Amino acid sequence: MKFVVSSSVLLKQLSAVNGVIANNPIVPILENFLFQIDQSQLTVTASDLQTVMITTLAIESTDSGAIAVPARLLLDTLRGLPDQPITFKIDSETFGTEIITENGRYKLSGENPIDFPKVPQVTKSLSVQIPADVLGAAIANTIFAVSNDDLRPAMTGVYVQLSPEYTNFVATDGHRLIRYRRADVKSEYDSTMIIPRKALNLLKSTLPSDDTTVTADFSSANAFFSFNNIRMICRLIDERFPDYENAIPQNNPNVMMINRAEFLGSLKRISIYSNKTTHQIRLKLAKNDLVISAEDLDYSNEANEKLMCDYDGEEMEIGFNAKFMVEMLGNISSNMISLEMSQPNRAGLIIPSDKKENEDILLLVMPVMLNTYA
């Protein structure tokens, strides 16, 4: 079995799907790419049992067959090669593979492709067409708030609520919550699912930045995404997502309007002086006046800054985790934001003032108790 392919084209396609492969996979065969040659087309599959990514590319060949090729060894070889046509010669009995370049030969041991896990077939119960830039924005605006706590598996992915009117993308780790709503993504009927963080990160890194159409098909157990020459299949998280809507406070009479960049810059500076465990910062609000302060009693460090703002409400002091605030504000592009609050022990809502067409973002951050230090 033999085929010829451009080294740079092959490297680009392998790099797109390589992120699926785990460092220490449960099944050793998953350290490999599955190559399936069908004359002038090569299909490459990478899997970790939970997520599968597949890409196709054109090659020069008259043969057909399959082989599992060591992923890391092949990628390291291709990264060191200049752009040139390379020839793969594969022994169909021993699965020995030889890569022939302009001035070199590289031999590596392949494996029997029959041991590679079968790819789940598309058995869709729901299908949605989403522009790539819209899906990329939905992932970017939510993925950072996904929980890393494997003891709460429902929160280790992004909750997707599809409806005939709009689609919500929701993420929470128990300390903050993001609801990203798109009015231009709709489905025929209501449906919900939780998509794992790893799958979404892989999607985010491979999605084009234009409005290329992404076809998303969903079954009861899997999600299938396809665009250009890439397909991804991931297993959905079979858990019940928290009732996040009840966590969003509805009556918030204390509203602060402030420049996002100025607020973010001040938070970054003040947070340097906060306690390294709690990351607590204090907001003291009065009429058109905001004082941001932090202190670390362990090292007698403290700092405060005064900012101009438009505040309508009662004078109050409220504490937040600076790390969460900085991360949330850093993921918003709006020039102005509003921080809506009810009481110092209730969640605050961050709402961008500059709304884009078909887009609505709500960020919820839980307060921290003032004067509590680790």
| pLDDT tens profile 289-336 | 999 999 998 888 999 999 999 999 999 999 999 999 999 999 999 999
Q: Is residue 374 part of a domain?
A: no
Task: Look up the pTM and report it.
Answer: 0.92
Q: Name the domain count of the chain.
A: 3
CA dihedral 65, 70, 71, 73 (to 10 degrees): -130
158 closest CA partner among 174, 139, 176: 139
338: tokens are: 């509003």
Same domain, yes or no: 102 and 134: no
Q: Is residue 289 part of a domain?
A: yes
The number of angstroms, rounded, from the C-alpha of 335 to the middle of its chain's C-alpha atoms is: 24
Residue 232 burial (10 A CB sphere; 0-12, 13-18, 19+): buried
Instruction: Quote the domain boundaries for residue 110.
Output: 2-115
Domain shared by 158 and 255, yes or no? no
Boundary (domain end) residue, out of 115, 134, 153: 115
- Whether residue 373 is predicted with pLDDT greater than 60 in this model: the reply is no
- Taking phi over 0 as left and psi of -120 to 50 as alpha, with beta for the rest, 214 belongs to beta
Boundary residue ending a domain (84, 115, 146): 115
DSSP bridge partners of 131: 213
Residue 195 in domain: yes
β-strands 85-90, 41-47 pairing: unpaired
Instruction: For residue 133, name the pLDDT band (cuts at 50, 70, 90).
Output: very high
Q: How confident is the model at residue 371 (pLDDT cuts 50, 70, 90)?
A: low
- Mean residue pLDDT of the chain comes to 95
With a CB cutoff of 8 Å and minimum separation 6, the contacts of 19 are: 53, 201, 202, 205
Q: Cα(339)–Cα(219) distance, rounded to whole angstroms?
A: 39
Would you give the DSSP letter of residue 298? Answer: T
Judged against a pLDDT cut of 80, whether residue 374 lies above it is answered with no
Between the CA of residue 76 and those of 14, 59, 71, 93, 326, what are the distances in Å? 11, 21, 9, 25, 37
Last residue of a domain, one of 246, 278, 300: 246
Do 144 and 214 share a structural domain?
yes
Q: For residue 346, name the pLDDT band (cuts at 50, 70, 90).
A: very high
